[in-house]
Amino acid sequence: MFQNHPNPFNPKTAISYELSAISFVTLRVYDLLGREVATLVEEIQEAGYRNVEWDADGMPSGVYFCQLKAGESVTTRKLVLLR
């Protein structure tokens, strides 16, 4: 998973990642307290490059964490929503 862009963002950001093999993928966003605030992807995907947009309209400013799970791999990135 690559760093989102733009970061900081308001209210939309793009999250990109690349899969090397077919995998069951989950892409979720969490707040600072670890509560899930959005599920962006939850499906089997073929290998390749993906780009997902998160529209955080209605969410408060602050730090969020985006977590990508693909097969046995887990990656987390920090996102900053600045209003």
For the stretch 27-74, pLDDT in tens is: 999 999 999 999 999 999 999 999 999 999 999 999 999 999 999 999
pLDDT on residue 56 = 98
pLDDT on residue 28 = 98
Phi-psi region of 35 (alpha: psi -120 to 50; beta: other; left: phi over 0): beta
pLDDT on residue 63 = 98
Domain ranges of the chain: 12-81
- Per-residue pLDDT, averaged over 4-8, amounts to 98
Q: Which CATH fold would you assign to the domain 12-81?
A: Immunoglobulin-like (2.60.40)
pLDDT on residue 11 = 97
Q: Among candidates 37, 24, 33, which has minimal Cα distance to 66?
A: 37
